[in-house]
Chain A
């Protein structure tokens, strides 16, 4: 039965794609974006890679029709001798779906799509149905075969399904509230069953928010975020947040039977736009693990726009405590030479001590430069070159050039 469903589903998608693409040959609402890319350098084990990749994104939106078709995918092949990745032709279909509007309040999406509920997410081959404006409430239903993109392709098998429902408030001023329920199946066995809730309310200069996930199978809140934002003026945003995580695993995984510790963090942050060209930010996070193990994480940064064509970003990170110590910085700059040419460059540096590093610290550096040339209204070329100096490489160079084309 599942096999018949799967074959019928794939056949329907292919047929729809073919029909709509055929009909679109003479239609203007058809849009393509292509990017042909060459990426070279060394992989993580020091072997050479010379990758040719072709991206294609398309949309077909005929005017006055209740349907549209959207797709995005990539094919790549490494002509080098990579050790980490495959050297075969590798395809990745990010999405390909048909949107159909039955009525202003009822829409459906059929095909490969990314579905996101607080209770769970999935890249699925399936169907999503949105029903809006049932009073102030909307409902989203989704279900289909779960797909996982791996290092060298996609993974899915019969019996791996995702189903979910989200009931949410809509068109209610200053209020976000959604309650969702999701299940994942692994070879037809129930792997995950979660409840989720998201909430935000804007009241004058205060905005409290909550995001909860409850694992029904393990009977625990496996994830909870509670926070409040305060913006006494448009230029200043203050935030306090509590985050709780209790890792849970698929019921079909052996790891679901093991004891785990909860993780919690307490964060305060501030963002301030001193004046139009200068903004600064800072955040502090206290991370807590059980048995009194902690870590302190601090981040500060600034963005400067000294002249209209130039913007500079700088940030410093510091971490000290359980799991390793690290401090580092990043400085990047973007400069628009004229309407057709833009360049960018950056420096990153990290000094770190992992628990397995018994003496001293290691450091890692990255230097990069990139540029974009808009050749015509529909054609542009981008390039980027970087070099890395770190514990694994004296110099690891990576480069890429992309020809981008719109139709």
Chain B
């Protein structure tokens, strides 16, 4: 696997270096221009049209380019107003949650529909929010039993518990484990059963990576379930 990746990277480098040097155009003079008017220069310029209706999802790759053109038109606050709730230059289209501003993607009753929207790539939530420091701190302020979670409803709407005889929770957990973390940041409820040794939570091929995880955390993660010297 490493060999293939290395060869691929070398190939890309060679291809890239073969292309003639080119000075990146500054866009500062055009910062206030409408996006629709950009084509007057860009037409047939070999640059893919961008800043379209799906730009929210697309901009990551452009932002990862170094150096990029973003700062020609946007200050860093523009990024953080969306990623971190700021509202100095708040768009009238943006709603609010407490003092924070929400991106336009968080529409209607976001509290009610975010469990569905989160299924559209669960990882996308964590590009802006920390699962423990944001999600858990918000979930923790709701009365226990008030969050409707399918696997937790087997013992009644306010039970908020599951029984090991029902496999629903394991399927949900494997598909979006970070959502468990959003209410159980330390995994204390998981450990109650999984530390017993009867129900191993580890993935297939665990022996190949367990050593690296153990060394990285200094063994402190392992000690949550295992006795010293037993892992």
A148, B39: Cα distance in complex, Å: 39
Contacts of B138 in A (CB 8 A): 84, 151
B16 within 8 A of A: yes
- Of B13, B80, B92, B123, the residue contacting A177 (CB under 8 A) is B13
Contacts of B86 in A (CB 8 A): 55, 72, 74, 92, 94
A234 within 8 A of B: yes
User: Do the beta carbons of A257 and B107 come within 8 Å of each other?
Assistant: no
A217, B218: Cα distance in complex, Å: 13
Instruction: Give min CB distance, A361 to chain B, whole Å.
Output: 11
A74, B178: Cα distance in complex, Å: 29
User: Do the beta carbons of B202 and A269 come within 8 Å of each other?
Assistant: no
Interface of A (DSSP majority class): strand
A291, B42: Cα distance in complex, Å: 45
A227, B91: Cα distance in complex, Å: 31
User: Do the beta carbons of A254 and B190 come within 8 Å of each other?
Assistant: yes
Instruction: Give min CB distance, A43 to chain B, whole Å.
Output: 7
A70 within 8 A of B: yes
Q: Which of B98-128 contact A (CB under 8 A)?
A: 98-99, 107-109, 111-113, 115-123
The count of A-to-B residue pairs whose CB atoms sit within 8 angstroms is 357
Most buried by A among B20, B141, B149, B225: B141
Interface size on A, residues (CB 8 A): 158
Instruction: Using known A-B contacts A35-B87, A172-B22, determine if residue A348 contacts B108 with beta carbons closer than 8 Å.
Output: yes
B29 within 8 A of A: no
User: Do the beta carbons of B142 and A255 come within 8 Å of each other?
Assistant: no
A287 within 8 A of B: yes
Contacts of A151 in B (CB 8 A): 98, 133-134, 137-138
- Of A76, A170, A218, A391, the residue contacting B66 (CB under 8 A) is A170
Instruction: Give min CB distance, B123 to chain A, whole Å.
Output: 5
A118, B120: Cα distance in complex, Å: 21
Contacts of B171 in A (CB 8 A): 291
B144 within 8 A of A: no
13 contacts between A and B (CB under 8 A): A39-B99, A123-B84, A136-B21, A148-B133, A175-B16, A211-B64, A234-B39, A251-B217, A254-B187, A265-B121, A295-B119, A323-B116, A366-B108
A255, B221: Cα distance in complex, Å: 9
A182 within 8 A of B: no
Residue of B nearest to A170 (CB): B67
User: Do the beta carbons of B177 and A44 come within 8 Å of each other?
Assistant: no
User: Do the beta carbons of A349 and B108 come within 8 Å of each other?
Assistant: yes
Instruction: Give min CB distance, A249 to chain B, whole Å.
Output: 7
Q: Which of B204-231 contact A (CB under 8 A)?
A: 204, 208-209, 212-213, 215-218, 220-222, 224-225
Residue of B nearest to A301 (CB): B53
Contacts of B176 in A (CB 8 A): 247
A174, B134: Cα distance in complex, Å: 39
User: Do the beta carbons of A132 and B67 come within 8 Å of each other?
Assistant: yes
Add 15 more A-B contacts to A169-B16, A169-B17, A370-B92 (CB < 8 A).
A37-B87, A123-B84, A130-B67, A179-B9, A214-B5, A217-B209, A237-B52, A245-B121, A245-B122, A251-B217, A255-B187, A259-B203, A259-B204, A319-B120, A324-B119
Contacts of B119 in A (CB 8 A): 287, 295, 322-324
User: Do the beta carbons of B21 and A344 come within 8 Å of each other?
Assistant: no
Contacts of B7 in A (CB 8 A): none
Instruction: Give min CB distance, A373 to chain B, whole Å.
Output: 12
Contacts of A382 in B (CB 8 A): 90, 92
Report the stretch among A1-9, A11-19, A21-29, A186-194 that lies at the interface.
A186-194
Instruction: Give min CB distance, B82 to chain A, whole Å.
Output: 12
- Of B48, B60, B66, B187, the residue contacting A166 (CB under 8 A) is B66
A291, B108: Cα distance in complex, Å: 32
User: Do the beta carbons of A392 and B109 come within 8 Å of each other?
Assistant: yes
A377 within 8 A of B: no
Instruction: Give min CB distance, B117 to chain A, whole Å.
Output: 8
- Of B19, B67, B109, B190, the residue contacting A258 (CB under 8 A) is B190
B33 within 8 A of A: no
- Of B15, B22, B67, B76, the residue contacting A138 (CB under 8 A) is B67
Residue of A nearest to B123 (CB): A245
Contacts of B175 in A (CB 8 A): 260-261, 263, 289-290, 293
A386, B104: Cα distance in complex, Å: 14
User: Do the beta carbons of A354 and B148 come within 8 Å of each other?
Assistant: yes
Contacts of A172 in B (CB 8 A): 16-17, 19, 21-22
Contacts of B213 in A (CB 8 A): 217-218, 251, 256-257
Contacts of B215 in A (CB 8 A): 190
User: Do the beta carbons of A211 and B60 come within 8 Å of each other?
Assistant: yes
A395 within 8 A of B: no
A290, B87: Cα distance in complex, Å: 39
A174, B174: Cα distance in complex, Å: 40
Residue of B nearest to A77 (CB): B99
- Of A84, A150, A256, A354, the residue contacting B221 (CB under 8 A) is A256
A100 within 8 A of B: no
Residue of B nearest to A386 (CB): B95
Instruction: Give min CB distance, A237 to chain B, whole Å.
Output: 5
Instruction: Give min CB distance, B156 to chain A, whole Å.
Output: 13
Q: Which of A367-407 contact B (CB under 8 A)?
A: 368, 370-372, 382, 384, 386, 388, 390-393, 398, 400, 402, 404
